[in-house]
C-alpha cells in the first residue's frame, strides 16, 4: 500500500512540475514574441539628449521652473 501511495505522490509531483514548466516556457516565449512585435511596429523617434546621454525636456518646462529646480539641486548637493 505504501508503494502505491508513494507512486501516486511522485506522479502528482511530476504532473505539477511539468505543468509549471510548460506554463513558464509559454510565458517566456509569448513575452519575447510580444516584445519583438512591439519593437518592430512601434518604433519611436529618439528624444534629443545631451553629451551625458540625459534627455533634454527643457522645451516642455518653463525656464523659470528649470532655474528653481537647478537651484534646489545645487543647494542639496552643497549641504
Nearest CA to 48 among 58, 36, 63? 58
- pTM score: 0.50
**pLDDT (0 to 100) of residue 72:** 94
Q: What percent of the chain has pLDDT over 70?
A: 77
Predicted pLDDT of residue 1: 67
Angle, vertex CA 35, rays to CA 31 and CA 39, nearest 5: 175
Question: 45 in helix, strand or coil?
Answer: coil
Q: Are 47 and 55 in contact (CB under 8 A)?
A: yes
3-class secondary structure, 61: coil
Nearest to 8 by CA among 20, 19, 22, 16: 16
pLDDT in tens, 4-42: 999 999 999 999 999 999 999 999 999 999 999 998 888
Domain boundaries, the chain: 2-43+54-78
Amino acid at each position: 500500500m505504501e508503494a502505491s501511495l508513494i507512486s501516486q505522490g511522485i506522479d502528482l509531483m511530476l504532473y505539477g512540475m511539468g505543468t509549471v514548466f510548460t506554463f513558464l516556457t509559454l510565458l517566456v516565449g509569448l513575452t519575447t514574441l510580444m516584445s519583438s512585435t512591439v519593437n518592430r511596429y512601434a518604433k519611436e523617434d529618439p528624444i534629443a539628449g545631451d553629451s551625458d546621454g540625459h534627455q533634454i525636456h527643457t522645451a516642455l518646462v518653463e525656464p523659470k521652473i528649470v532655474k528653481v529646480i537647478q537651484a534646489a539641486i545645487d543647494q542639496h548637493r552643497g549641504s
